Amino acid sequence: MKNADTAMSIAKRQDNTYRFFTQDMDTEARLRHDLEIELRSALNTQQFVLYYQPIYDPFSGIQLSTEALVRWIHPEKGLIPPDHFIPLAEETQLIVPLGSQILFQACKDAANWPENEGIQPSVAVNISSQQLYRSDIIQTVKYALEISGLPPERLDLEITESVLLSDDTAVMDTLQAIRKLGVGISIDDFGTGYSSLSYLKKFPVTKLKIDRSFIADITEDTDDRTLVQAILAMAKGMGLTVVAEGVEDAEQLEFLREHRCDLVQGYFFSRPIPNEELHELLDLSFEISEAEDSEK
Ligand code: C2E
Ligand code: MG
Ligand code: MG
């Protein structure tokens, strides 16, 4: 019965299918179970930390925004990247308390960032669909802003396209309420979801983040160039700000500048770094021309 149950839970995670039990499933189920227990205890012992990746204006080189990216600092295993635990946190709903912790920490850190050229960068926080469906995200956002003192204009919430595809009026109301607070809403990994663009009209979106898979090939692949140009033109027409994710070299940056992309993020400028390191970096603008020269 236990084995049948294991096979069933795996079948449930994949759509519309059945599975026969195998020994590997048992091992996998045990590993997941252990990870879930570790995840719960990590939440209570502050093992999650936020790294920050700067987002720059590609023309002035000034850091206008920053993305908060969670890391699990495991006492034995060391740094665990989000891809290894966010999916399980989502399945087990642990993403709700974890997501709140992240939001509070990000607002608190951002409220203390120094100014550079009179600008304090805003902070973008990734929000999982579970947080929108199964928690009082509006209250959490309000409270995080209140106790940190962060102005709402300096907070963006990043959601994925799939959240907007469900025709759920509750999600629509939630996003409207968040926008009313003055908080921005970005579509993360834009272009990788489904092709329906009608949601851009319906929902109060402020920014599009072009997925890094399109940016990776813009200098070689004509289709990707065309797609990126089209996204930029569409966003401009709709009054949306565009961020290019995953900029890794000077050529990509040049293309994005040529086509008037608003903001750029990627390893070319900086990897995600701990908050203390970000403080040091905030005193500097990114020298676009110098970086281009050093690449050549
Ligand atoms: P994302 O939100 O699309 O974040 C961008 C990811 O791209 C980050 O990976 C970042 O390190 C990586 N990246 C940035 N620039 C470059 C580049 O130039 N080249 C390459 N190859 N990669 C680049 P990371 O930190 O491993 O995060 C992966 C994903 O995990 C995130 O994708 C997001 O979906 C999720 N995630 C991270 N932090 C959180 C969080 O606090 N809450 C939730 N719900 N999800 C999170
Ligand atoms: Mg993101
Ligand atoms: Mg992304």
Interstrand relation of 48-56 and 63-74 (parallel, antiparallel or unpaired): antiparallel
- The predicted-structure confidence for 219-263, as pLDDT tens digits, reads as follows 888 999 999 999 999 999 999 999 999 999 999 999 999 999 999
Distance CA 52, CA 276 (A): 10
d(CA 63, CA 57): 6
198 CA → ligand 2 middle, Å:
22
For the chain, give me the number of helices (H) and strands (E)?
A: 14, 10
Q: Is the pLDDT of residue 195 over 90?
A: no
d(CA 149, CA 15): 44
The residue written with tokens 């770094």 in the block is 273
Does residue 284 have a pLDDT over 60?
yes
Residue 290 scores a pLDDT above 70: no
Is 15's pLDDT higher than 80?
no
Q: Which ligand is nearest to the CA of 192?
A: 3
pLDDT cut 90: percent of the chain above it: 71
Judged against a pLDDT cut of 60, whether residue 296 lies above it is answered with no
Give residues with Cβ within 8 angstroms of 221, minimum separation 6.
none
The contacts of residue 147 (CB under 8 Å, 6+ apart) are 104, 107, 108
pLDDT value of position 233: 94
Share of the chain above pLDDT 70, in %: 96
pLDDT at site 206: 95
Q: How do residues 116-159 score in pLDDT, each as one tens digit?
A: 888 999 999 999 999 998 879 999 999 999 999 999 999 999 99
DSSP per residue, 99-134: HHHHHHHHHHHHHTPPPBTTBPPEEEEE--HHHHHH
**Strand, helix or coil at 195?**
coil
- Residues with Cβ within 8 Å of 216's Cβ and at least 6 positions away in sequence, in order, are 224, 246, 248
Residue 198: per-residue pLDDT: 77
Q: Contact, 243 vs 207, CB < 8 A?
A: yes
Give the residue among 57, 68, 50 at the shortest CA–CA distance from 244. Answer: 57
- The pair phi, psi for residue 219, each rounded to 5°, is -85, -15
CA nearest 59: which of 287, 296, 213, 294?
Answer: 287
The C-alpha angle 158, 161, 167, rounded to 5 degrees, equals: 115
> Regarding the domain delimited by 50-291, which CATH topology (the fold level of the hierarchy) does it fall under?
TIM Barrel (3.20.20)
Q: Determine if ligand 1 sits within 6 Å of the CB of residue 149.
A: no
Give the tens place of pLDDT for each residue, 205-222: 999 999 999 999 998 889
Q: Under 8 Å CB-to-CB from 276, ≥6 apart: which residues?
A: none
Name the residue at shortest CA distance from atom 9 of ligand 1: 69
Q: What angle do CA 290, 292, 296 make, to 5 degrees?
A: 115
Q: Tell me phi and psi for residue 94, to 5 degrees.
A: -65, -15
pLDDT at site 179: 97
Which ligand is closest to the CA of 69, given by its number? 1
Average pLDDT, the chain: 91
pLDDT 10s digits, 80-94: 999 999 999 998 999
pLDDT, position 295: 44
The number of residues making up the chain comes to: 296
* Tokens describing residue 13: 């995670």
**Amino acid identity for residue 280 in this structure:** E
- Parse the chain into domains and list their residue ranges: 1-45, 50-291
pLDDT at 283 over 90: no
Distance from the alpha carbon of residue 75 to the mean position of ligand 2, in angstroms = 26
| 212 within ligand 1 shell (Cβ under 6 A) | yes
What is the structure's pLDDT at 55? 97
Q: What does the pLDDT read at residue 73?
A: 96
What's the pLDDT at 43? 93
246 pocket-lining for ligand 1 (C-beta < 6 Å) = yes
Does 209 contact ligand 1 (Cβ within 6 A)? Answer: no
- What's the pLDDT at 82? 97
Contact 54, 63 (CB under 8 A): yes
Q: How many CB atoms lie within 10 A of CB 200?
A: 17
Residue-wise pLDDT for 29-47, tens only, equals 888 889 899 999 999 999 9
Q: How many Cβ atoms from other residues are within 10 Å of residue 77's Cβ? A: 10
pLDDT at 291: 52
User: What are the structure tokens assigned to 86, written together?
Assistant: 């966010």
Of the two residues 27 and 105, the one the predictor is more confident about is 105
